[in-house]
Amino acid sequence: MRTLEIPTGGRLPVLGLGTWRLGEDPAQRRAEVAAVRSAIAMGYRLIDTAEMYGEGGAEEVVGQAIAEALRAGDVTREQLLVVSKVYPHNASRKGTPAACARSLARLGLDRIDLYLLHWRGEHPLSETCEAMRQLVADGRIAHWGVSNFDTDDMEDLAAVCGEPLDCAANQVYYSMSERGPEFSLLPWQRQRGMPMMAYSPIDQGALAGDAALGKMARRLDVTAAQLALAWVIAQPGVTAIPKAGREAHLRENLAAADLQLSADDLAEIDRMHPPPRRKKPLAMI
């Protein structure tokens, strides 16, 4: 799979697995672990989770699936890239390492590959930045980044942490139907070689049922969800983390990473979902 370089060294695959809403219901635990395990077996290498998802439950599901995959020899730890996120209310100088330690315990890992501030909260960015850098120095995380940061938040972060900024990525809501980040945020990140991780890239499943997109997808012999994913990762500097529980969806989404859209296809999508003409605040789900 194609990968993107991150400013702090290392690379991110252009497509990974989302895990929001996992770990909420103990009755679903076995099926969820099996789904993540099967995703790893079929080739997913980046898994996105957060302490918020299922209040730690999703990290436990991911941890169990990784442990089983490692035991089975499906993958090595070095091949996997685990992303997790700290709640804003925990992101203080002392709270960040404590939250990270809890996430590591639930994941059963000794390192998180990319640790993000989930969204901007009440703690000063200077404290979060300092704590993140200390976690990198201590080897508890390999890279740190942010999520739901708009252009002005990134400017504030750069002012507080200094440039060149060692923030590895910004994860935001970005899909064919939510193209706001293209106006100023994506150019800002591209200028610094900082990947944008697109969350909800199929609009929580809605784009899979979009009639116009479906029509175009049938002509290209793909599905609407695949077209939505292929489009988002065709944007330079963008990776996507679709969530899928169903085996068929997992396979379909993974295959989308290899689809090539022509200039005509991209122009057709622009007509369906035009790029933004002015700045609007970053959307959040």
Ligand X SMILES: NC(=O)c1ccc[n+]([C@@H]2O[C@H](COP(=O)([O-])OP(=O)(O)OC[C@H]3O[C@@H](n4cnc5c(N)ncnc54)[C@H](OP(=O)(O)O)[C@@H]3O)[C@@H](O)[C@H]2O)c1
Q: Active-site positions?
A: 53
Closest to ligand X by CB, 86 or 161: 86
- Contact, 147 vs 258, CB < 8 A? no
Residue 168 Cβ, how far from ligand X at the closest point, in Å?
A: 14
Question: For helices 263-272 and 211-220, what crossing angle results, to 10°?
Answer: 170
- Contact, 116 vs 147, CB < 8 A? yes
Residues 6+ apart with CB under 8 A from 247: 35, 38
One residue of 199, 222, 235, 282 binding ligand X per CB under 6 A: 199
| 31 scored as a contact of ligand X (CB under 6 A) | no
Q: Which residue minimizes CB distance to ligand X?
A: 18
How is 89-128 classified by DSSP, letter by letter?
GG-STTHHHHHHHHHHHHHT-S-EEEEEE-S--SS-HHHH
Report the distance separating Cα 107 and Cα 84, nearest Å.
10
What x-and-dash track marks residues 254-283 binding ligand X by CB under 6 A? ------------------------------
Closest to ligand X by CB, 8 or 239: 239
SS3 call for 281: coil
Residues 6+ apart with CB under 8 A from 201: 174, 175, 228, 229, 232, 240, 241, 242
Size of site (CB under 6 A) for ligand X:
28
Residue 148 Cβ, how far from ligand X at the closest point, in Å?
A: 5
Interacting residues with ligand X between 48 and 67 (CB under 6 A): 48
Interacting residues with ligand X between 118 and 157 (CB under 6 A): 118, 147-148
Residue 169: what residue type? A
What x-and-dash track marks residues 159-188 binding ligand X by CB under 6 A? ------------x-----------------
Residues making contact with ligand X (CB under 6 A): 18-20, 48, 118, 147-148, 171, 199-205, 208, 223, 225, 241-246, 249, 252-253, 285
